[in-house]
Amino acid sequence: MFEELGLIGNTVILLVTLVTLANASEMTIKHALNVASVTRLGKTTVGFILVAFSTSLPEFFVAIFSTVNPENVGVSIGNVLGANISNICLILGSCFFLLALKNPRGSFFLPKMAKEELSSLHFGLFIASIVPLTLLYLQHVGRFIGIILLAIFMFYMYKLSKSGTPEAGAPSRAEKRKLRKYITLTFLGALGVVVCAFFIVESASNIAVSIGLPAIIIGATIVSLGTTTPEFATSISAVRKGHLELALGNIVGSCFVNITLILGVTLAATSFGVDANGFSNVALFSLMANLLLWYFLSGEKMGWREAAILLFMYALFIAISFGAL
């Protein structure tokens, strides 16, 4: 669509769209949380389902639009796997670094709530780890794998919805009027995300062609970094306010949504099989990132070491992706 604009034109479109995307996503998240507050949903359900899904809206619509053009499927799959690497290594690495700065000893203990919810976090990380491993093993994936991933997503969302208990009390008439407003604003924010996602897929694919890079590299780096902006802003804000458990739930929930719903939609809507060999490096880094976080969560505390390892791993991923190493 924007081929005639060339490298510079498509780069400008991509940068402007990423900024607009961040604002649209933040609008969606803000009012989705207002909806949750008015309806008095439990915090666990809001954190893992609503916040995680809201922050994953960019990846979701990038996947939807990429399936329209088979040449863009590589952008979507690279975006899903790259987003998980960004979520864990860059975003959580930054969160841990920020917390280490705030603690004189350079280390901190996990919040009590996070420990109580480790089973949900571990399950999310298990699924986010086993899927890249499966891609590496099968080497050729298609609709059947996509349907399985969608089934896993629906099953676990159903399970979580049953485990959450709404707080006592029905919303008042004034709150119900606010609810209609919040739902409308949430819808408008999501619509903005849809439009931004279309421009991102088109401009990123044109940039990949212009500079001779495979679409998978653009999807796993530039696009995934842009689409994880909502997770970054939300998680850093939560950590600054002393809610590490919200950041952990947001990031792990986003990884789970990415690897089940979004990758599932991409594969299920694709009429041809996808050669997973082209995604081996990204899938391997995604697997290592999930396993590292799984190991860190099993300990009693985090610190400089964990933050440095995650941030170094992200820098290594970027360097290898662009051929610097």
pLDDT digits (tens, 9 = 90+) for 79-102: 788 889 999 999 999 999 998 888
Q: Which CATH number fits domain 3-321: 1.20.1420.30, 1.10.3720.10, 3.40.50.300, 3.30.360.10?
A: 1.20.1420.30
| Mean pLDDT for the stretch of residues 36-44 | 62
Summarised one tens digit per residue, pLDDT across range 126-167 is: 888 888 888 778 877 778 888 999 999 998 888 776 655 444
**Cβ atoms of 46 and 208 closer than 8 Å:** no
Q: Give the mean pLDDT of 191-215.
A: 77
Mean pLDDT of the chain: 78
Task: Give me the pLDDT at residue 324, please.
Answer: 59
Q: How far is CA 52 from the centre of its chain?
A: 7
Is residue 37 classed exposed, middle or buried when 0-12, 13-18 and 19+ CB atoms within 10 A define those classes?
middle
Cα–Cα dist 168/55, whole Å: 28
- Given a cut of 60, whether residue 287 has pLDDT beyond it is yes
> What CA–CA distance (Å, rounded) separates 34 from 316?
39
Q: Which of 164-173, 177-186, 199-208 has the lowest mean pLDDT?
A: 164-173
Burial (CB count within 10 angstroms: exposed 0-12, middle 13-18, buried 19+), residue 155: exposed
Residue 115 has pLDDT above 60, yes or no: no
The label of the residue with tokens 């929930």 reads 253
Q: Which two tokens stand for residue 318?
A: 């970027």
**Residue 257 burial by CB count (10 A; 0-12/13-18/19+): exposed, middle or buried?**
buried
Residue 117's pLDDT is 61
pLDDT band at 168 (very low <50, low <70, confident <90, very high): very low
Question: How much is the pLDDT for 312?
Answer: 95
Query: Domain boundaries in the chain?
Result: 3-321
Q: Is the pLDDT of residue 51 over 90?
A: no
> Mean pLDDT lowest for which of 176-180, 280-284, 308-312?
176-180
Confidence of residue 74 (pLDDT cuts 50, 70, 90): confident
Tell which wins on pLDDT, 120 or 163. Answer: 120
pTM of the model: 0.76
User: Where is pLDDT greater, at 11 or 229?
Assistant: 11
Share of the chain above pLDDT 70, in %: 81
d(CA 307, CA 93): 5
The pLDDT score that the predictor gives to residue 147 is 92
pLDDT in tens, 239-267: 887 778 778 878 888 889 989 999 898 88
Report d(CA 127, CA 152) in Å as an integer.
9
307, pLDDT greater than 50: yes
What CA–CA distance (Å, rounded) separates 321 from 36?
39
- Split at pLDDT 50, 70, 90, the class of 71 is low
Position 310 pLDDT exceeds 90 = yes
Here the contacts of 39-44 (C-beta below 8 Å, separation 24 or greater) are 39/166, 39/171, 39/179, 40/166, 40/167, 40/168, 40/169, 40/171, 41/164, 41/166, 41/167, 42/164, 42/165, 42/166, 42/167, 44/117, 44/120, 44/160, 44/163, 44/164, 44/249
